[in-house]
């Protein structure tokens, strides 16, 4: 065990949990109407609790166990209930218990990201069942494919901190759920603007800080890779924020706070898969690319495709993660300050590998999510009644009110 590595990953674990609680919770809560703020906060914290327990029961084993029952598609159940994970077992240079906890924070935020696609109209029970099934059927197996020695790892796919594992899975599945659930009343022309832009900014800021643990911690060591990952993460976020600000200024004559911090998240999502392999210039270029592409995707998904992905999960996270994953072969080269590609691997062949990773995970996530939603519809139902949607989910689902006005 290395004490420096262990200390850093302990810190990074806390930073990643900060991303969900309270970062993502506040970011999403500020974007909805006043009558639904508590429902979003409730969904975020309840999902965090449920995913933590499920990760302990079977998620970690499916993702990272290696035994006779495991294969290139899933890890098996030899570490069911974290069996064999003790105080003295190591994962590299850190305690395996810490590695399991660090990965648990990823398992918490990934299904929580999907909440943004179906706010203000879904049953609370449906949220819990969908995310629980999704963690075990979609997220944990994909983790094994990419990070647990599975078939995509064997092909050499590059996904340093979750462009495919986190953002593509959550983005695609979120859009599928939003489509099958149906749009909010009044979509797209009569949807109220975010009720608390200041809250959105605070949430985004916590996400930004927490992302240093997300990307920097993925080095799993206190070293130069962690330092560079944090640097390029910050540069990408700052660049994409400015891109979004400028686009809104040119297009509408004014730049919004919500728009700027949405650009921040787009930049963070885009740099995530590449943060361990690109240099500072690569971080700037990925922030620029992510800012532009994700902005276009928001208009395309809501305006042209008419999908009420309410808080732009696919456009920002899914498209951002895919963009970074596909661009990384070009920016990982030494000329851009990156680490370079594996010996004998060309930019073209690495791009094909990246495309296979994005495409296969997107297709699997979509198909599995359709099945999960159909099961949930049969068990709990999906959508609240029209009267409940009009009155707001805070009171009708939870018996509370976020504000006393």
What mean pLDDT do residues 177-181 have? 98
Q: What is the pLDDT of residues 47-106, one digit of tens each?
A: 999 999 999 999 999 999 976 567 899 999 999 999 999 999 999 999 999 999 999 999
For residues 177-199, average pLDDT: 94
Q: For residue 161, which phi and psi values (nearest 5 degrees)? A: -135, 10
φ/ψ bin of 21: left (φ > 0), alpha (ψ from -120 to 50), beta (otherwise): beta
Residue 191 burial (CB count, 10 A): 15
The CATH-assigned architecture of domain 3-394 is Orthogonal Bundle (1.10)
What is the rounded distance in angstroms from the CA atom of residue 161 to the CA atom of residue 227? 14
* Nearest-angstrom CA–CA distance, 238 and 208: 10
Q: Which has the closest alpha carbon to 392: 381, 403, 382?
A: 403
Average pLDDT, the chain: 96
Please compute the mean of the pLDDT values over residues 21-42 and round it to a whole number.
98
Radius of gyration over every alpha carbon of the chain, rounded to an integer in angstroms:
20
pLDDT at 249 over 90: yes
Please answer whether residues 227 and 235 qualify as being in contact, where contact means their C-beta atoms are separated by less than 8 angstroms: no
Q: Per the confidence metrics, is the pTM higher than 0.85?
A: yes
pLDDT band of residue 189 (cuts 50, 70, 90) is confident
CA-CA distance, 30 to 194, in Å (whole number)? 6
In DSSP terms, 383 is beta-bridged to: 122
pLDDT value for 336: 83
pLDDT at 69 (0 to 100): 65
Length of the chain: 405
* pLDDT computed for residue 335 by the predictor: 81
- List helix spans (H) across 212-273: 224-252, 257-271
**From 26-40, 158-172, 184-198, the region with the lowest mean pLDDT:** 184-198
Amino acid 67: pLDDT: 66
Q: What is the 3-state secondary structure (H, E, C) of 294-342?
A: HHHHHHHHHHHCCCCCCCCHHHHHHHHHHHHHHHHHHHCCHHHCCCCCC
With a cut of 90, say whether residue 174 has pLDDT above it: yes
Please give the share of the chain, as a percent, with pLDDT higher than 70.
99
pLDDT of residue 404: 85
d(CA 126, CA 149): 32
pLDDT average, residue stretch 374-394: 97
Structure confidence at residue 356 as a pLDDT band (50, 70, 90):
very high
């Amino acid at each position: 065990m290395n004490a420096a590595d262990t200390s850093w990953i302990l810190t990074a674990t806390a930073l990643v949990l900060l991303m969900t609680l309270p970062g993502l919770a506040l970011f999403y809560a500020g974007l909805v109407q006043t009558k639904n703020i508590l429902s979003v906060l409730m969904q975020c914290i309840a999902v965090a609790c449920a995913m933590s327990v499920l990760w302990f029961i079977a998620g970690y084993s499916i993702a990272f166990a290696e035994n006779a029952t495991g294969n290139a598609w899933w890890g098996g159940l030899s570490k069911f209930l974290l069996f064999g994970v003790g105080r003295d077992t190591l994962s590299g240079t850190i305690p395996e218990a810490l590695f399991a906890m660090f990965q648990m924070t990823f398992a918490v935020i990934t299904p929580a990201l999907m909440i943004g696609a179906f706010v203000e109209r879904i049953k609370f029970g449906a949220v819990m069942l969908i995310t629980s099934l999704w963690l075990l059927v979609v997220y944990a197996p994909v983790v094994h494919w990419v990070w647990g020695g599975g078939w995509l790892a064997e092909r050499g796919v590059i996904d340093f901190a979750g462009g495919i594992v986190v953002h593509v899975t959550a983005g695609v599945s979120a859009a599928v759920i939003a489509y099958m659930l149906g749009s909010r009343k009044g979509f797209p022309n009569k949807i109220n603007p975010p009720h608390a832009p200041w809250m959105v900014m605070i949430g985004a800021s916590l996400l930004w800080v927490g992302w240093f643990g997300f990307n920097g911690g993925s080095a799993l060591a206190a070293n130069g890779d962690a330092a560079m990952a944090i640097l390029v993460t910050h540069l990408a976020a700052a660049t994409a924020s400015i891109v979004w600000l400028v686009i809104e200024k040119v297009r509408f004559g004014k730049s919004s706070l919500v728009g700027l911090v949405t650009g921040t998240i787009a930049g963070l999502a885009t740099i995530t898969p590449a943060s361990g392999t690109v240099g500072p210039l690569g971080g700037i270029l990925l922030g620029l690319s992510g800012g532009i592409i994700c902005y276009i995707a928001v208009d395309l998904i809501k305006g042209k495709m008419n999908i009420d992905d309410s808080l732009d999960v696919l456009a920002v996270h899914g498209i951002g993660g895919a963009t970074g994953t596909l661009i990384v072969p070009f920016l990982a080269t030494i000329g851009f300050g990156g680490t370079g590609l594996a010996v004998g691997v060309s930019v073209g062949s690495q791009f094909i590998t990246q495309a296979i990773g994005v495409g296969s995970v997107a297709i699997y996530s979509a198909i599995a999510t359709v099945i999960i939603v159909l099961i949930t519809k049969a068990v709990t139902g999906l959508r609240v009644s029209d009267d409940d949607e009009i009155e707001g989910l805070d009171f009708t689902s939870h018996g509370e009110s976020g504000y006393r006005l």
